[in-house]
Amino acid sequence: GASATLAACSGDASATSRPAASFPRPEPVAPSPGQSVASARLTAAPVTLNLGGRTVQTWAYGDTAPGATLRATAGDLLRVTLDNQLPADTTVHWHGVRLRPQADGVPGLTQDPVGTGKSFLYEFTAPDPGTYFFHPHVGTQLDRGLYAPLIIDDPAEPGDYDLEWVVVLDDWIDGTGTTPDEVLEQLVADGASGTAGMDHGAMTGMDHGSMSAGQDGAPWGTDTGDVSYPHYLINDRLPTDPTVLQGRAGQRVRLRVISAASDTIFAVALGGHRMTLTHTDGWPVRPQQTDAFYIGMGERYDAVVTLEPGVFPLVARPVGRSTGGQGLAVVRTATGAVPAADVSPGELDGNVLTASQLEPDDAARLPAKGPDLTAALTLGGSMAPYLWTINGAPYGQNEPLRVAPGQRLRLNASNMTMMPHPLHLHGHTFALPNGLRKDTLLMAPMESVALDLDADNPGDWLIHCHNTYHAEAGMMIDLRYT
Ligand code: C2O
Ligand code: CU
């Protein structure tokens, strides 16, 4: 039945296929000569959050969601103590950082889960500058609001901007009487009883006409997610009482946009402005002007804009949903009325860029070299049963991918489903055929792409879909060093 299926494909792999290995506490790390140390304390705890006109009970890092931004300089040693005050086991995963495996935060693979009332010291060097975030790697905890930005500054970057705004996007279900775990149980139950197709249509809407002109013909198909979200948030504010980002006309702003969403692709635009994209997943790209861009779960985009005089909507519009609603923040450089919650900036009808339209900055390229080995990475699965797979089987039943230190591995990734999936790699980054570097790539339905990675970080690592519900229902695989 449903619960058996859920147990068999629960993402808490330590409870399923993997023997209950016990991981020793990582050895303390001493800073290397001249290395700076950035220390922080992180408390994961139940909180009451005011989303702006609506108060919810949920879990977060500290008393806000997103939690406070952690900041360090590339090359620093980060020392972050997690205090777990949740009524559940948890961990922290430093999404996108090429860190040592002992700090990667995957229970059953790199550490034991951190129990209630316990703490864990994460120590790692952050080698690459960029826009990152962190979140638990346990169950669906990310979808409750446990996330915060991690910014790694580049000591060599001129920083050609006056202001910086960190913009975190989220789809929000918790605090509505249903927890993300219950949502997952329902998806599994619907899949087992054969009602998934019907519910799925009803939940996500097959109503193509509801998409704006700009998103019509979007590359992601019409069936973009499984969960019906009542709210979309920017920096955890509802559009009825949005975050205000204050600047002055003529200032250059660096936007660091992070998607902490669990099941939603957004199209992002700033009304009255064109954006110049400068980075994706922390890696520099050739500056590319656009009206708007798509961002999948776990992706990051940095953009620079020169502020115009006035009041403007920064909109994150869910793609392929008919339930309505969107994320909104307000950019203000003058007095004037706040835009309406359902404002629709014309930029969303313009060019909405995808990663495949970006070119890498030369500094982001891998050294030219052919692959030493290739491996298939095939995304599959279905709503009924609610089971998502890599290489033909759910996590725990699929064969780990294997690589030797120093090898270049070419992953022939293909999405053999009719849904988009954001494919995420731990502890490494991959290069697309044109050299674009990323750690999370939104793959369109039936898309294939060759991704090259250099095996320069020995350990046991995950590759998975960053749709929380898909990952939890099996869409993960291990990458192991031989
Ligand atoms: Cu943000 Cu394994 O993921
Ligand atoms: Cu997926």
CATH number at residue 447: 2.60.40.420
Q: Which of 215-219, 340-344, 444-448, 457-461 has the lowest mean pLDDT?
A: 215-219
**Shortest CA distance to 130 belongs to which of 279, 289, 294?**
279
Q: Is residue 225 part of a domain?
A: yes
Same domain, 431 and 356: no
pTM of the model: 0.93
Per-residue pLDDT reduced to its tens digit, 148-187? 999 999 988 877 899 999 999 999 997 778 899 999 999 9
CA 379 to ligand 2 centroid distance, Å: 8
The tokens for 282 are: 């922390």
Q: Which residues approach ligand 1 with their CB closer than 6 A?
A: 93, 95, 135, 137, 298, 424, 426, 462, 464, 466
Q: DSSP characters for 254-287?
A: EEEEEE--SS--EEEEETT--EEEEEETTEEEEE
Q: Which residue blocks in 313-381 are alpha helix, DSSP H?
A: none
Q: Is the pLDDT of residue 8 over 70?
A: no
Question: Which ligand gives the minimal distance to the CA of 263?
Answer: 2
Q: Which of 157, 189, 221 corresponds to the end of one domain?
A: 157
- Quick one: average pLDDT of 64-72? 96
Q: Which of 77-86, 191-200, 234-243, 267-276 has the lowest mean pLDDT?
A: 191-200
What confidence score (pLDDT) does residue 216 get? 45
Same domain, 79 and 125: yes
Where does residue 162 rank: exposed (0-12), middle (13-18), buried (19+ CB within 10 A)?
A: middle
Q: State the chain's mean pLDDT as an integer.
A: 91
Greatest C-alpha distance within the chain: 61
What confidence score (pLDDT) does residue 202 get? 33
How confident is residue 250, by pLDDT bands cut at 50, 70 and 90?
Answer: very high
What confidence score (pLDDT) does residue 20 get? 58
Residue nearest to ligand 1 atom 1, measured at CA? 95
Per-residue pLDDT reduced to its tens digit, 366-419? 999 999 999 999 999 999 999 999 999 999 999 999 999 999 999 999 999 999
With a pLDDT cut of 90, the percent of the chain lying above it is 83
Task: Say if the ipTM goes beyond 0.90.
Answer: yes
Same domain, 301 and 347: yes
CA 54 to ligand 1 centroid distance, Å: 29
Yes or no: say if 146 and 44 are a contact pair by the CB < 8 Å rule.
yes
Q: How many domains does the chain have?
A: 3
Q: Is residue 460 part of a domain?
A: yes
CA distance 459 to 242: 42
Q: DSSP characters for 37-103?
A: EEEEEEEEEEEEEE-SS-EEEEEEETTSSSPPPEEEETTPEEEEEEEE-SSS-B--EEET----GGG
Same domain, 343 and 204: yes
Q: Which of 157, 190, 211 corresponds to the end of one domain?
A: 157
Same domain, 282 and 417: no
How confident is residue 196, by pLDDT bands cut at 50, 70 and 90?
Answer: low
Q: Please identify every residue whose CB atom is under 5 Å from ligand 2, which is an ion.
A: 421, 465, 467, 470
The residue segments making up the domain with residue 218 are: 168-362
What confidence score (pLDDT) does residue 204 get? 36
What confidence score (pLDDT) does residue 378 get? 98
Q: Which of 90-94, 210-214, 294-298, 367-371 has the lowest mean pLDDT?
A: 210-214
Q: Which of 7-21, 200-214, 219-233, 427-441 has the lowest mean pLDDT?
A: 200-214
Q: Which of 213-222, 235-244, 376-385 has the lowest mean pLDDT?
A: 213-222
The tokens for 442 are: 């939104």
Same domain, 465 and 342: no
CA 76 to ligand 1 centroid distance, Å: 22
